[in-house]
């Protein structure tokens, strides 16, 4: 009986290295393009404005939903008083943190403006409203 | 005498687990990141004059003269803007503000929004003012006295 041996396939390191290159490239690309912001547990569609300044990174994110729901850095907060109580210890120091308000476009101003006033009232000196230049 | 170290068997590094880990990281970052382009509008700034989202109580002693160069824009519950009792469309408001800025570059715009108006209406009004060249925009809020 004749046994035919197939020649062993040659390892091809080149192709897998090219694959790793592509995957690395994609990985770095998505890490640079995306933002790792805390997302609110409810829908927040920021208002559209073409004149905003670039949003700086860092700081605290206060989300304000359409029905007045509040969240701090992605965690839901029951009331404005609870939010202020959570922020007050951090606002007391010499360098209060930046706060960005991520408000839904259709939230009534009777929810938004008192919130801004209250944040200013506990000593926060940098509060910004998040907008988007492109409608989603 | 020459001692020979026993030759190591060739270390085989498999690439497949590494590629697996990379792909998992890739998918993780693609899924968890948000790709919405975000900007910001400052609401409270350090060093700015007290923004006073509450109108100061009117002085009873001396009648306040309206500050020169200040324009009050009211924002209605439906998002319409009213200047001096005249409802204005967006284009008319932009034209009016541009004319005011041309006459007085230090024009200050004070926006008095209704609590029923939504955030988009306020942001749109701020945008109109900014595009008209107004550099000092304030938002005030009426607050009942305790």
Q: Where are the domains of chain A?
A: 60-129
Q: What is the pLDDT of residue A104?
A: 92
When mean pLDDT is compared across A78-87, B3-12, B59-68, B115-124, the lowest value belongs to B59-68
Residue of B nearest to A112 (CA): B119
User: How many structural domains comprise chain B?
Assistant: 1
The answer to whether residue B62 sits within a structural domain is yes
Chain B residues with CB inside 8 Å of A114's CB?
Answer: 141
> Are B40 and A130 inside 8 Å of each other by CB?
yes
Closest Cβ opposite residue A47 in set B26, B116, B123 = B123
Average pLDDT over residues A70-81: 88
Tell me the CATH number at B99.
3.30.420.270
Range of the domain at B146: 43-146
Q: Which two tokens stand for residue B113?
A: 């929004």
Residue B113 lies in a domain: yes
Residue B76 predicted with pLDDT over 50: yes
Fold of A60-129: Nucleotidyltransferase; domain 5 (3.30.420)
Q: Which residue has the higher pLDDT, B19 or A10?
A: B19
Q: Is residue B59 part of a domain?
A: yes
pLDDT number for residue B54: 45
Helix H or strand E encompassing A114: helix A109-121
pLDDT band with cut points at 50, 70 and 90 for residue B56: very low
Instruction: Give me chain B's average pLDDT, please.
Output: 78
Q: Do B53 and A117 touch (CB under 8 A)?
A: yes
CA atoms of A129 and B60, how far apart (whole Å): 36
* Residue A117 phi, psi dihedral angles, 5° rounding: -60, -40
pLDDT at residue B52, as a whole number: 44
Cβ pair A124:B124 closer than 8 A: no
Instruction: Say yes or no: ipTM exceeds 0.85.
Output: no
Cβ-based burial of B6 (10 A; exposed 0-12, middle 13-18, buried ≥19): exposed
> Which of B119, B131, B132, B135 should one mutate to test binding to chain A, selecting the residue with the greatest count of A CBs within 10 A?
B119
Q: What is the pLDDT of residue B44?
A: 82
**Residue in A closest to B143 by C-alpha:** A114
Nearest chain B CA: its distance from A14 CA (Å): 11
Chain B residues in contact with A56 by the CB 8 A cut-off are 40
- Which of B22, B46, B117 lies closest to A108 in CB terms? B117
Percent of chain A with pLDDT over 90: 7
Is the pLDDT at A124 greater than 60, yes or no?
Answer: yes
Q: Pick the residue from chain A with its C-alpha nearest to B25.
A: A27
Q: Specify the pLDDT at position A11.
A: 60
The minimum CA-CA distance between A108 and chain B, rounded to whole Å, is 4
Using pLDDT thresholds of 50, 70 and 90, give the confidence band for residue B8: low
Q: Which residue in A116, A125, A129 is closest to B40 by CB distance?
A: A129
- In three-state secondary structure terms, B97 is helix
Residue B13 lies in a domain: no
Q: Under an 8 A CB cutoff, do A132 and B34 touch?
A: no
A30/B32 touch (CB, cutoff 8 Å), yes or no: no
Residue B46 has pLDDT above 80, yes or no: no
Q: Judge: A52–B41 Cβ closer than 8 Å, yes or no.
A: yes
Buried b / exposed e over B112-129, threshold 16 CB at 10 Å, is: ebbeebbbbbbbbbbbbb
Q: Which residues of A touch B128 (CB under 8 A)?
A: none
* C-alpha span between A116 and B38 (Å, rounded): 19
Asked whether residue B4 is domain-assigned, the answer is no
The pLDDT assigned to B6 comes to 65
């Amino acid at each position: 009986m004749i046994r035919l041996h197939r020649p062993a396939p040659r390892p091809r390191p080149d192709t897998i290295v090219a694959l790793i290159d592509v995957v690395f490239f994609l990985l770095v690309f998505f890490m640079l393009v995306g933002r790792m912001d805390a997302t609110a547990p409810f829908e927040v569609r920021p208002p559209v404005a073409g004149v905003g300044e670039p949003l700086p990174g860092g700081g605290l994110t206060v989300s304000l939903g359409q029905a007045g729901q509040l969240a701090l850095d992605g965690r839901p907060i029951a009331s404005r008083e609870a939010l202020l109580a959570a922020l007050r210890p951090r606002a007391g120091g010499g360098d209060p943190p930046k706060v960005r308000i991520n408000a839904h476009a259709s939230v009534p101003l009777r929810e938004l403006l008192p919130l801004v006033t209250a944040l200013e009232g506990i000593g926060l000196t940098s509060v910004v409203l998040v907008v988007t230049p492109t409608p989603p | 005498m020459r001692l020979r170290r026993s030759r190591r068997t060739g270390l085989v590094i498999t690439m497949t687990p590494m590629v697996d880990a990379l792909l998992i990281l890739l998918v993780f970052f693609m899924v968890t990141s948000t790709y919405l382009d975000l900007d910001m509008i400052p609401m409270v700034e350090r060093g700015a004059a007290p923004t006073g989202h509450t109108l100061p109580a009117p002085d009873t002693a001396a009648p306040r003269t309206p500050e020169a160069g200040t324009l009050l824009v009211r924002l209605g519950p439906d998002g319409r803007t009213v200047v001096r009792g005249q409802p204005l469309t967006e284009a008319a408001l932009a034209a009016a503000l541009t004319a005011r800025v041309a006459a007085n570059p230090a024009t200050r715009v004070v926006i008095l929004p209704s609590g029923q108006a939504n955030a988009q209406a306020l942001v749109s009004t701020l945008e109109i003012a900014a595009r008209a060249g107004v550099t000092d925009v304030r938002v005030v809020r009426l607050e009942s006295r305790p």
